[in-house]
Each structure stands twice: as C-alpha cells, then as structure tokens.
C-alpha cells in the first residue's frame, strides 16, 4: 500500500483532536493537518447526542465545524478511517486498510468507549445500548417505538441524560444503581438529596443498591433484566452507563507508554518524539492533589487538545492539569456543579455545608482550612467559575473565606 | 483596521447607582423602553453586575471578551463563538442550558435565564455605537475605548495628577 505524508496527523476527530487541529492552524497557517476518525460521521458535539434520542435536535445541528471555536479551515478529516498501528520508528501511522500515513507530529486523541461489565450476561442482545456515539443515539432512537419500559444500568450523569431523553419520548424508565445514591461519582450520597428529589418528582423510577446480573432477550431483542435481588424487570431497552475505558489497543507494541491510559508529560507529549496525546485517552495530573488523573470530560478534552496543538505547532505550552470532577449540568430543573474534591468520607477536610429551600452547597477546604479544594452547588450555581478559579489556582483563601462559605464571592473580591 | 474597543471599568468612580444595570436590561428588552421593560414578563435581564466590596467599594462587572475565552472552549454545544468584531457571543438557539460556561467563566458574568433555560451575557449592544451601560453611566466609571486610546487616557490622567502633586 502507498505511503502518504502529512505534517500533522491527529488520530480521533472529537473534542481533543479537533481542538488541537484548530490550535495548530492558529499557529501554523500552512502545515498540512490530517484527522483520522473511525466514526462515519463528521466531527460533532458528543454531549448533544441525547437530544437526538429525545428528538429535540437533529444530527446536522450537532456538527462541530462552523460552531463555537471550530472553524476547521484547511483541515482534512478522513471519516470512517481507523488507525490500526503506530510505527513510531518510521514516523507513520498504519491505517486499517494498510495505508501508511507519515507525520512529523502526531496526536493520539482516540478518546474512550463505554465499559460493559463482563459479568452482565446477555449484554450483546439487540436493544442493549451504551450511549456514546451519534450512531448509538440513532439506533436507540429507532427502538423507542417498540419500547414501553427502558432500564438504565448505572446512576451516572450519562445515564441520567439518556433517561430524560427517553422520558421525554414517553418511555417508562427505571434507573438501576448499585451505589447507595445516584451520581455517586460526582458527590457523596447526602449531597445528592435535592437532585434525587428532583429526579423522583420528574417520574424517574430509581432502585439503589441493586445490580443487574443478566439481560433476557428473544428474536425481538431485549425482553427483560434480571437483578441480583432476584427481581425481574420486563423491558425492551437497556442502557449501560458504567463508565468508560480508553481506546489504546492499537498502540500495543508501539513503544508508547500506556498505564491506565496514554501517559502525558507536562507538555502533553508522550514518551516518544513527536507523539502527543490529549483528551479522555490521556493520563494527566490533578493540579490540586498533584496525582495522575484521567477524566472523561469534553471541557477538559478541549483544553488539553488546544494545549497539545500549540505544542505540536512549536509553541511550548505547559498543560495546567485538571480536576477529575468538573461538571455542570441541569437535570430535572435542578442545576448543579461539582468540582475538585467532593468525596470527603475518607479524608481529613474542613467542610462547610449549607442547605436552604431549593439550594444546597458544600465547600471543601484542606484540613488546615487555608485552601478551597472542592465544591458542590445544587440549585444556585451563581459565580461557580470563580470558585473553580480559587480551587485551580490554589489561592490562599484567608481574605475571602467568609465570602466563599456564605456563597457571596464575586470578582470584585479579587480586584484591588 | 480600527482598533477594537473594550469596556473599561474605573472602580474608583463607581458610586453603585445601578444606572448601567437598568440601561442594559432596557436595551435587551423587546420594546427598548423603560416602561416596556418593566412590564415585560419574564423581566428582561441585565448583563452588567455591580458588586459591592466591603467597606464601600462598588465594582461594575461585564464580560471581558477574554482572549482565550474559557467559556467558548468549554461550551459543549458550540453555542459560543467569537464574531468578526472580536465579541464573544452566545447563540441562544444552540444553547442547551448546561451551565458549563457558568462553571468556567472566572469573572462570573454569565447569567442564567431560567424561564428559557439559556445562558446570556454582554453582547456589546450590536445595535448601538456605544454600549447602553457605558452611555448610561453618570460618573464615567465605564469607558468604551480601544486599548491604546484607554492607555493614553490613563497616562494623561496620571500625568495630570503628577503635575498637580508637584505644584502642591
Ligand atoms: C451522551 C454524552 C454526554 C456527555 N456530556 C458531557 C458533558 O455534559 N460535559 C462534559 O464535559 N463531557 C460530557 N461527555 C463526555 C465527552 O463527550 C468526552 O469527554 C469527550 O468527547 C472526550 O473527547 P475526546 O476527543 O478525548 O474523545 P472522544 O470524544 O471519545 O473521541 C475519540 C474519537 O476517536 C475515534 N477513534 C478511536 N480509536 C480510533 C482509531 N484507532 N482510529 C481512528 N479513530 C479512532 C473514536 O471513534 C472517536 O470518534 C458526554 C459524553 C456522552 C457520550
Ligand atoms: S463570559 Fe467570562 S469567560 Fe467568557 S469571554 Fe466573557 S469574561 Fe471571558
Ligand atoms: S449553558 Fe449554553 S452557552 Fe453555556 S456552555 Fe451550556 S450550551 Fe454552551
């Protein structure tokens, strides 16, 4: 097979990959940029796919190009094209069809895919989904007509979004959660009370402390879910939201250092020359704890992707790292933000909680009470960006601690 | 190309009269009149904020149109873009009200329109030469100028002060 050449190659055309392409183009107006993307669709805003299920948006309303910061001038995107191996010695990537694509700089931004626990029997039946791609969303939407009841396995944000999309389409939905409460990744159970109430009020059935052991199906696809408490739920659709795993298999034997994901240094570079990484697939560091971290967030993927793009285009730029938890959203009319360290059961922290009608907030300081390290806001998320800033910059909080605790912090407190 | 203008804030001049807030809400109302704005439901929203810092300082705040606009890069739906004039805009048709931008704006100047479930902030009053807040400010605490022009003003003011001080 032939050998082609591109100055910059980007594997993965989503948040991290396209942000990098854009950043490269801003710094280097002429270098050729080729994006290889396995999916058949042109790059799109992945977090919008639940709207395809609910019917509120169509696929063409989700495209990246021309939206927000993505102008994509002079960037070639090869969709439906999969990287099969990295031949770093010869500075080229081998595609599944055998084509070798040479690069001077390459970005590995292959993201992640849903994790389907192997102990759930029958998970390969028609009607079982793990919502990740636009294609998944299309298939899910197509099955709604024959679905009276959907069972969601996992109580994370993704499943909540999918659940609401289905509720909007008139499907009955039951959320099966193994943890003691929904959103256990984003907050402690007692901090989720308001959200839980909003979900209950919105008509979502939630079972906590139970897990699925098997999925039953016949020629029509899914017919039911068997739980570990012996119960069976008749159901025509199952959605598995049990976290994600990085797409790193194609790197086997390439010499790239892969631990849980691809290891990135402070400049988003991997251990091999000219090879960079960003997004869900990359291991970076938490600026507060200093520990290695992988996140599964669009916002982080873009930020890291931009940084990688700048480095690739020759502008040495340190990546400031990110919190593992950095979520804002609104479920069932309840806005919330969770950022930084929010799980406080097993640590020595100074915690301030305040509950009022319709709002709840928790502020986590280090054990000396000098630095804000995490925050959960439910209901009232005003000025959340400032709190993120205080956490991320590790600001000494003595002068503004009262404002932080009383939730009256505003930018005026920073200007002199 | 003419230099793009910015809204500068002279906190030493702000007396907290909230004229800017009212003017902004009126400008972003359907009728663009004070009476109409007061009658409109939901009430039109101001995109300027005047915060208070103890003991008696007032700080007017408005979108800074950040160069590496964190809100724009964070938006998960592509609703925020920078237009040809350098103004960072939220397209409310595309906004899904996820509040990610609220979570990352370090100035806290993105508002949430709860009835419509959309984010909003300063759009520099596209129909006007000078933004409504700036026109309305009675003390000159808000200034609409290009960066070099503003720097010159600041330098001139400083030298006036110096001269005054030297003359005693
Ligand atoms: C329904 C849903 C809602 C979400 N909501 C939010 C939210 O509200 N806020 C938030 O911050 N995040 C959200 N996320 C998470 C967010 O979408 C991801 O963190 C983000 O997409 C990660 O971007 P990425 O570029 O690292 O990787 P990905 O988006 O995973 O993209 C990687 C791309 O690389 C391709 N690829 C993989 N291997 C290869 C290969 N060998 N060759 C070629 N191509 C390959 C994949 O097919 C994929 O297209 C949501 C995700 C989903 C699914
Ligand atoms: S909204 Fe905030 S983050 Fe966005 S450009 Fe304005 S000041 Fe900057
Ligand atoms: S609230 Fe709207 S503008 Fe803000 S990040 Fe979400 S979709 Fe984008």
- B70 to chain A: nearest residue by CA? A303
Q: In sequence order, what DSSP letters do the residues of B18-32 get, joined into one string?
A: -HHHHHHHHHTSSS-
Per-residue pLDDT at A72: 79
Q: What is the pLDDT of residues A346-390, one digit of tens each?
A: 889 999 999 998 899 999 999 999 999 999 999 999 999 999 999
Q: In sequence order, what DSSP letters do the residues of A398-412 get, joined into one string?
A: GGGHHHHHHT---GG
Q: How far apart are CA B111 and CA A382, in angstroms?
A: 8
Statement: residue A217 has pLDDT above 60: yes
Instruction: Please enumerate in sequence order all residues whose Cβ is within 8 A of that of B64, keeping only pairs 6 or more positions apart, or say none.
Output: B107, B109
Per-residue pLDDT at B151: 78
Q: How confident is the model at residue A105 (pLDDT cuts 50, 70, 90)?
A: very high
Same domain, B19 and B42: yes
Please enumerate residues of B whose Cβ is less than 8 A from a Cβ of A.
Answer: 11, 49, 51-53, 57-59, 61, 70, 72-82, 94, 96-100, 102-110, 112, 117
Same domain, B13 and B48: yes
Q: How far apart are CA A162 and CA A185, in angstroms?
A: 17
Same domain, B56 and B131: yes
Per-residue pLDDT at B1: 45
Of the candidates A328, A382, A383, which has its C-beta nearest B100's C-beta?
A: A328
Same domain, B54 and B1: yes
Q: What is the pLDDT of residues B1-11, one digit of tens each?
A: 457 788 999 88
Q: What is the pLDDT of residues A263-298, one digit of tens each?
A: 999 999 999 999 999 999 999 998 877 889 999 999
Same domain, B83 and B69: yes
Given B100, B121, B142, the domain boundary residue is B121
For A290, the token pair is 């200093």
Average pLDDT over residues A18-43: 97
| Tokens 């929904």 sit on residue | A182
Task: From the CA of B80, give the closest atom in ligand 3.
Answer: 3
Residue A155 CA to its chain's centroid (Å) = 15
CB within 8 Å of chain B, chain A residues 52-71: 61-62, 64, 67-70
Same domain, B58 and B131: yes
Same domain, B51 and B85: no
Statement: residue A3 has pLDDT above 80: no
Statement: residue A142 has pLDDT above 70: yes
Q: Tell me if chain B has a CB within 8 Å of the CB of A51.
A: yes
Same domain, B41 and B24: yes
Nearest to A207 by CA among A178, A231, A170: A178
Per-residue pLDDT at A342: 95
The answer to whether the Cβ–Cβ distance between B73 and A69 falls below 8 Å is yes
Q: How many residues does chain A have?
A: 416
Residue A355: phi, psi to the nearest 5? Answer: -115, 135
- Atom 15 of ligand 1, nearest CA residue: A297
Domains and CATH numbers, chain A: 3-113+245-312 (3.50.50.60), 116-242 (3.50.50.60), 341-413 (3.30.390.30)
Q: In sequence order, what DSSP letters do the residues of B43-82 get, joined into one string?
A: PPPPS-EEEEETTTEEEEE-----TT-HHHHH-SSS-EEE
Per-residue pLDDT at A366: 94
What CATH number should be reported for the domain holding residue B96? 3.30.70.20
CB-based burial of residue A71 (10 Å sphere; 0-12 exposed, 13-18 middle, 19+ buried)? middle
* pLDDT, chain A, mean: 95
- Atom 6 of ligand 3, nearest CA residue: B98
For B146, the token pair is 């290009």
In chain A, the N- to C-terminal Cα span, in Å, equals 64
Number of Cβ atoms within 10 Å of the Cβ of B123:
17
What CATH number should be reported for the domain holding residue B54? 3.30.70
Same domain, B100 and B154: no
Task: Report the domain count for chain B.
Answer: 2
Same domain, B148 and B116: no
Check if the beta carbon of residue A101 is closer than 8 Å to that of residue A82: no
Check if the beta carbon of residue A150 is closer than 8 Å to that of residue A221: no
Average pLDDT over residues A96-101: 95
Q: How confident is the model at residue A402 (pLDDT cuts 50, 70, 90)?
A: very high
Per-residue pLDDT at B34: 87
Q: Tell me if chain B has a CB within 8 Å of the CB of A320.
A: no
Question: Which of A61, A376, A411, A416 is the best substitution to test chain B (most B C-beta atoms within 10 A)?
Answer: A411
Statement: residue B29 has pLDDT above 90: yes
Q: How confident is the model at residue A415 (pLDDT cuts 50, 70, 90)?
A: low
For A182, the token pair is 């929904």
Nearest to B52 by CA among A413, A407, A403, A387: A413
C-alpha gyration radius of chain B: 18
Statement: residue B155 has pLDDT above 70: yes
Statement: residue B163 has pLDDT above 80: no
Lowest mean pLDDT among A76-85, A238-247, A280-289: A280-289
Same domain, B57 and B27: yes
* pLDDT, chain B, mean: 89
Per-residue pLDDT at B159: 65
Instruction: Please enumerate in sequence order all residues whose Cβ is within 8 A of that of A25, keeping only pairs 6 or more positions apart, or say none.
Output: A33, A71, A73, A74, A75
Average pLDDT over residues A142-147: 98
- Residue B57: domain span: 1-62+126-168
Same domain, B43 and B87: no
Q: Tell me if chain B has a CB within 8 Å of the CB of A389.
A: yes
Check if the beta carbon of residue B22 is closer than 8 Å to that of residue B34: yes
Residue A388: phi, psi to the nearest 5? Answer: -60, -40
């Amino acid at each position: 097979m032939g050998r082609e050449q591109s100055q910059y190659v980007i594997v993965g055309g989503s948040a991290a990959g396209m942000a990098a392409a854009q950043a490269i183009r801003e710094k280097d107006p002429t270098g050729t940029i080729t994006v290889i993307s396995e999916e058949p669709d042109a790059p799109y805003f992945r977090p919008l796919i639940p709207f395809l299920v609910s019917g509120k948006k169509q696929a063409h309303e989700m495209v990246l190009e021309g939206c927000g910061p993505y102008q994509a001038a002079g960037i070639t995107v090869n969709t439906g094209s999969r990287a099969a191996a990295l031949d770093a010695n010869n500075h080229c990537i081998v595609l599944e069809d055998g084509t070798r694509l040479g690069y001077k700089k390459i970005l590995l931004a292959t993201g992640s895919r849903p994790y389907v626990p192997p102990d759930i029997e029958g998970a390969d039946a028609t009607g079982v989904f793990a919502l990740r791609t636009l294609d998944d969303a299309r298939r899910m939407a197509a099955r709604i007509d024959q679905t009276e009841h959907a069972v969601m396995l996992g109580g994370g944000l993704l499943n909540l979004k999918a659940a609401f999309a289905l509720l909007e389409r008139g499907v009955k939905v039951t959320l099966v959660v193994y943890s003691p409460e929904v959103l256990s990744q984003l907050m402690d159970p007692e901090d989720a009370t308001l959200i839980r109430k909003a979900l209950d009020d919105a008509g979502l059935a939630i079972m906590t402390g139970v897990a699925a052991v098997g999925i039953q199906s016949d020629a029509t696809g899914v017919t039911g879910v068997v739980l570990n408490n012996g119960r069976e739920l008749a159901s025509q659709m199952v959605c598995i939201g049990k976290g994600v795993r990085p797409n790193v298999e194609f790197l086997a034997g390439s010499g790239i250092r892969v631990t849980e994901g691809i290891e990135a240094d402070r400049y988003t570079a991997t251990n091999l020359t000219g090879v960079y990484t960003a997004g869900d697939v990359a291991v970076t560091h938490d600026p507060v704890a200093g520990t290695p971290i992988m996140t599964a967030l669009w916002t982080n993927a873009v930020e890291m992707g931009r940084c990688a793009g700048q480095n690739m285009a020759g502008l040495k730029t340190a990546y400031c790292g990110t919190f593992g938890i950095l979520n804002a959203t609104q479920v069932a009319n309840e806005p919330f933000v969770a950022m930084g360290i929010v799980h406080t059961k097993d640590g020595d922290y100074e915690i301030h909680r305040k509950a009022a009608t319709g709002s709840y907030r928790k502020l986590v300081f280090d054990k000396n009470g000098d630095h804000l390290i995490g925050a959960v806001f439910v209901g009232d998320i005003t000025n959340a960006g400032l709190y993120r800033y205080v956490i991320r910059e590790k600001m000494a909080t003595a002068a503004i601690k009262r404002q932080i605790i009383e939730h009256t912090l505003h930018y005026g407190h920073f200007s002199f | 190309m003419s230099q793009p203008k910015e809204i500068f804030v002279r906190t030493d001049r702000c007396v907290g009269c909230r004229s800017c807030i009212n003017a902004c809400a009126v400008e972003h109302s359907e009728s663009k009149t004070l009476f109409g704005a007061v009658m409109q439901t939901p009430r039109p929203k101001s995109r300027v904020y005047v915060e208070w810092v103890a003991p008696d300082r007032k700080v007017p705040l408005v979108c800074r149109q950040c160069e590496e606009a964190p809100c724009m890069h964070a938006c998960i739906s592509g609703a925020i873009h920078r237009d040809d004039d350098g103004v960072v805009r939220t397209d409310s048709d595309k906004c899904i009200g996820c509040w990610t931008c609220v979570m990352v704006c370090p100035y806290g100047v993105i508002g949430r329109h709860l009835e419509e479930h959309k984010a909003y902030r300063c759009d520099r009053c596209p129909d006007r030469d000078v933004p409504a807040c700036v026109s309305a400010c009675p003390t000159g605490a808000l200034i609409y100028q290009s960066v070099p022009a503003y720097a010159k003003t600041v330098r001139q003011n400083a030298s006036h002060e110096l001269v005054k001080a030297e003359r005693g």
